[in-house]
Structure 1
C-alpha cells in the first residue's frame, strides 16, 4: 500500500499551519484549550481566502443506525434505532495553479457498503422485509453524475471524512479483475483519493475494536498510484479546505467550505447540528444531558477509539462554522450522514434537517 512520500502535496494545494501545534498536543484537556484559542483565527483566515465555485449535495441512502451510537448517552428514548441519510457532495473550486477542479465528497457505493460487518449482521438479524421497509435507496453515484451532466472522467479528486463502510475498488480500480465487480477499471479514471495518512495506514493493522465498520479485505488489490495521503490540514483552493479532526476514527477529517451562505463544516463527527448544540435541542434528553454533564457536544460514537479527541474535534468544527438554519443561530454543519425524521423513531426526530447544500452552479461557464 505504498503511496506518496510524507509531506508531498498535489500541485495547486497549500498546507495550513494554524492547527499544527494544536494537533501535536497529546493531552486532551490542553488540546481543547488550544483549539478554543486557535479556531477563531482559522475561521477569519479561511473566510478571507474566498469562496468555492460551486457545491451541490446528492442523496444516496437512508438507513437505520443505533440510537446509542448516533446520540451516544444523551437521548431518552426506548427506540433502539434512528435513521441517518448519507449524502454525496460535488464541489467545484479553482486550485492555486488556476485550474478548475471537481471534488466528490462521500461518493459511497451504498450497495457494497452493506458488506460491512455491522450492516451485514443487521441485515441478517432483521431480514430482507424489514430492510426494505427501513432503507431508502437513492440514485447511485454514477446516476447522480449523469443527472448533473458530469462525466466521471472529469472528477479530479474524491475524499471521505473517514473510511468506515467504504469499498474503494470501484472508485480507484484494482490491480487484478474482481469477480464480484467484473472489472479492474475505476469509475473515476483520472481521480485521486485524498485521505489522511493515519486513516490509510490503519487499514493494514486494524484493532479488533475497529473492525466492525471497516472492509479491510477490499483493500488487498487496490491500485495505490492514485492515492494521496495528507499529513495535515490542506487548503485545496479558495473556500475549500480539509482539516484533521481525529477521534471518530484515528484519521478522521472535516471538509470546510466557504459559500454564499457562510462557512460550513462537513463530517460524520456529529449527526446533526443538535449534536453540537444539545442545549437547544428538542430531542428528549439532550438539553438536560448537556446541563447535567457539562458537555457541549454529543459525539457519534459507533467506534470507541478516541472519544476525548472526537469531542475536541467537534468543538473545533463548532468554532469554525457560521450560524444559520431555521430561525438563525444553528451551526452550519452538514452531516455526511444526517439524522432525519422517521416514523419508527418519533422521539428522536431532529428539530429540522438541512437536507441539501447548494452554492453557485456546477455548470461550467
Structure 2
C-alpha cells in the first residue's frame, strides 16, 4: 500500500506532464531559452533529435558547411573567382585554406559559446505588432507554411481577422489532409480549421510535426534491396493490413511514412486513433526505422516528446522484423506496458500503484487527443486531474 507521502510525490511528478503546455524544456529546464509550451526547446531538439536519421551512421560530420551546389564550401563564389582571375595573388593557396579552416573553427567555437551561455530575452518594442500595415502583413503571410499561418493567427485579433480573409475553410481542409493523410473523420466536418487546431494541439512536438513535411530524401537506387523490401512490405500492408493498423509512405523513396494505430479493445485507449511518424534509413533493413507518436498518449513507455521505448527498434533489431511487425509490437505495448524501465517513470509508478487512476487519465487523454475522427472536437479539462 502506497503511503500518503509517496502519493504526494507521485502527484507532483505527474503535475507538469498533465499540463497542456510545458513551462520549460524537459532536458535543459530553460537554460537555452523558452520552449514555448513544447516539451523540448529548439536548441535541445536540434542536437538531440536530428532531422536526418542517416546522420546517426557517422557518414557526415556534425558540423559541416556546404554550398547549395553540394561542394565542400572551399571553392570561391563565381564573382570572387572572376576577380581573382583578373587580380592574381602572389601568395600560394595554402594560407587561404588555413584561414578557411580557422574561420570554420571560429564559427564552431562561437556556436558552442552560444550554447553554453544563457540567452538574453528578446526585446520586442511595444506596439510593433499593431503598427505593421495590413499590406505588409499579407505579403509576409504568403510565405508562411500551414503551422506558421496557424501560429500567426494566435498573435492578436487583428492578425486573425486578416488571415480569415486569406485562408478559407477549404484551405484548412487541404492543410489537414496534407499534414495528417491518415486522418479520416466519420462525420461531416463543418469547420476544418477547428479540426486542424485540435490535431495540431494533439501533437506531442510541433518541431517534429513541422519537419515531417520538410524532409529531404537521399538518392536511392531503385533496384536496391531496401527498395525491393519496402515495396514488398507496402504491398502486404495494403492487401492484408493488421487489424487496426495502417501505414503509407509520404514520399516516393519511402523514406518518410505515416502510420495509424487504433487503440486495442479493452484498454483505456480503445476507440482512439493514434498517428505515428516513421523515418526509414537508407540502410534499411540493416538498421531499424525511427518511430515516433504524433498523437499525445498517456503511457509509461512513450515519452512526452512522442518517443517509443521499444527494445526491438533500439537495441534488438532483427532483419526478420518489418514495419508491420513493429507497429503490431507498439499496439501490443498499449495493452501490456513494461514498467521496469520507463520513458516516463512517474506514469509507470502510477500504473503499478494505482491502476484505476492510470486507466482514468489514459481514457481522458484518448478522448481529448485521439478521437477527433469519431467525436466532434470537445474541450476536456485535464488540469483538474
TM-score (norm 2): 0.26
Is the strand fraction higher in 1 or 2?
1
Name which one, 1 or 2, has greater alpha-carbon Rg. 2
TM-score (norm 1): 0.27
More contact order relative to length (CA 8 Å, sep ≥ 6): 1
